[in-house]
Amino acid sequence: MKSITFLLVLGGVASAAALDSSSCEKLKSLQPADAVFTTVELVPAGPAAAQGRGAEPAAAPAGRGAQAARPVLPAYCRVAATLKPSPDSDIKMELWLPADNWNGKFQMMGNGGWAGSIQGLNQMPTALREGYATAGTDTGHEGANGMFALGHPEKITDFAWRAVHLTVLQSKALIKAYYGKEPKYSYWNGCSTGGRQALIEVTKFPNDFDGVLAGAPANPHIYLHTAGVARSVALMKHPDGALSQAKVETLHNAVLAQCDALDGLKDGLIADPRKCKFDPDSLLCKANDNDKCLTASQVATVKTVYADVKTSTGEIVWTGFEPGGELQFNQLKTIPTTAAGGGWDSVRILGHQDANYDWRQFNLDSDLALADKSGIDTHVTDLTPYKKHGGKLLLYHGWADPGIAPGNTVNFYNKVLGTMGGGKQDDWMRLFMIPGMLHCGGGNGTDQFNKIAILERWREQNQAPDQILASHVTNGQVDMTRPLCPYPQIAVYKGSGSTNDAANFSCKMQ
């Protein structure tokens, strides 16, 4: 691949203790290869929203205006650039460089869905306040669907891996130019598509990052989306199979009644849903249809949602959704009438390069194989180069994820162990499965924990996370704490004390 790193015609433009607007302006004198600066400016300290950077809070604290909830950012040098590694490329990136109190580190943010914007701008304010030089990219296109890939193979490559990798290279070059030295540690922070990007970085470019957070990885992207289409087609076979909200609650309560206490505590959380052998047939209506039972078509719907999607030869394309998350499974309540959305784009655009491809011609085996030729995923499970680099990989996924069924992450972890040597890999790779957590966060489980700090301690101080203290927050108040345990351990109640206090749990095999 052609190198497009910045040509550094300057040494470090200033010491970290004396970086001002002129220091930021001097970055313009760098000569970028295959890149164009669109903005180089010193942004003064102030509320993030007032600067047009970062995400607006969902709501201001009660009795206070929205301005009070906006995070205040320190002064920073903002660099926006467009990268053009090919004539058809149009990769947008942003890098924020703390004007003072740089912690000597670099943190890059991942994307979600089809990307199509610099979604990292929502997380970069937090990293900036913690002293990081921080960056994000739009992966080379605009819009939250796959239409950009129609007739644009170079843009597919940009989305797949090139935009992220080149943003890393450009960011590190600019960091060295601005501060006079390279970052001591570099970290990746991503969930969903950001989790897929994490695994591609670890496999294709093991030296890019020293620590990687890979949450709910949407990898292989093609397998995830093709499985989603296959599940939709299966649901269409029972058009009268949608469950009402009342019936979804009946189903959920029946699952909890059978499986909640399997981990030794009845608390509304199933520690390992794979041990829940709930049979939807147990709810089949014996007489008249009512809210406390399911019709035959509704039972079929539930089974489809729980079931792994498999090829004709029995290969698991993607695992099914896990018992315990029913209240968030929209597939139970809405039966599709056509294939649509982002998943379908992977089949019709990445696969067939045909926006009008008829979903009624869908064939799981052939469409999966065709779309997979786009090369946007990684199927590598030998991560030895990243391990030799000294990198740490922290995987996490919510058991109640309604968007990306979590069993695939467990399968990936086990495949890596199988490839690299069984249980001897926990010195550099660990997986944390989180009961009750939804997609990348939310839910009734303990989804709040300082992921990047945990990764830092592991990489920089060799303090491996034997367990993680996590919290559940309601209306801004912590109402439950639990230990998150490295897979395959689970949090087990000690038998006394508050079940909302992590001190009364320990991580054990079960």
Q: What is residue 80's three-state secondary structure?
A: strand
Identify whether 498 is a catalytic site residue: no
Identify whether 225 is a catalytic site residue: no
Dihedral (CA of 202, 204, 207, 209) sign: negative
**Identified catalytic residue from 252, 401, 447, 472:** 401
**Identified catalytic residue from 192, 232, 346, 374:** 192
CB of 208 closer than 8 Å to CB of 187: no
Q: What is residue 452's three-state secondary structure?
A: helix
Residue 21's CB is within 10 A of a number of other CB atoms, namely 14
CB of 481 closer than 8 Å to CB of 469: yes
Please calculate the CA angle 431-436-437 and round it to the nearest 5 degrees. Answer: 60
CB of 108 closer than 8 Å to CB of 134: yes
Long-range CB contact pairs, 405-410, < 8 A, 24+ = 405/318, 405/319, 405/320, 405/321, 405/322, 406/216, 406/319, 406/322, 406/433, 407/274, 407/308, 407/319, 407/320, 407/322, 408/223, 408/224, 408/318, 408/319, 409/216, 409/217, 409/433, 410/319, 410/487
Distance from C-alpha of 382 to C-alpha of 372, rounded to nearest angstrom: 20
**Identified catalytic residue from 238, 439, 447, 472:** 439
Distance from C-alpha of 218 to C-alpha of 229, rounded to nearest angstrom: 15
Give the distance, in angstroms, between the CA of residue 270 and the centroid of all CA atoms in the same chain.
Answer: 22
CA atoms within 13 A on the CB side of 41: 7
Residue 471's CB is within 10 A of a number of other CB atoms, namely 15
Distance from C-alpha of 173 to C-alpha of 370, rounded to nearest angstrom: 38
| AA letter at 434 | I
User: Which of 194, 166, 178 is closest to 133 using CA atoms?
Assistant: 178
CB of 33 closer than 8 Å to CB of 4: yes
| AA letter at 2 | K
Identify whether 192 is a catalytic site residue: yes
How many residues in total does the chain contain? 510
Please calculate the CA angle 59-52-98 and round it to the nearest 5 degrees. Answer: 105
| AA letter at 240 | D
| AA letter at 427 | D
Please calculate the CA angle 150-137-389 and round it to the nearest 5 degrees. Answer: 110
Q: Which two tokens stand for residue 404?
A: 């990306």
Q: Hey, which residues are catalytic here?
A: 192, 401, 439
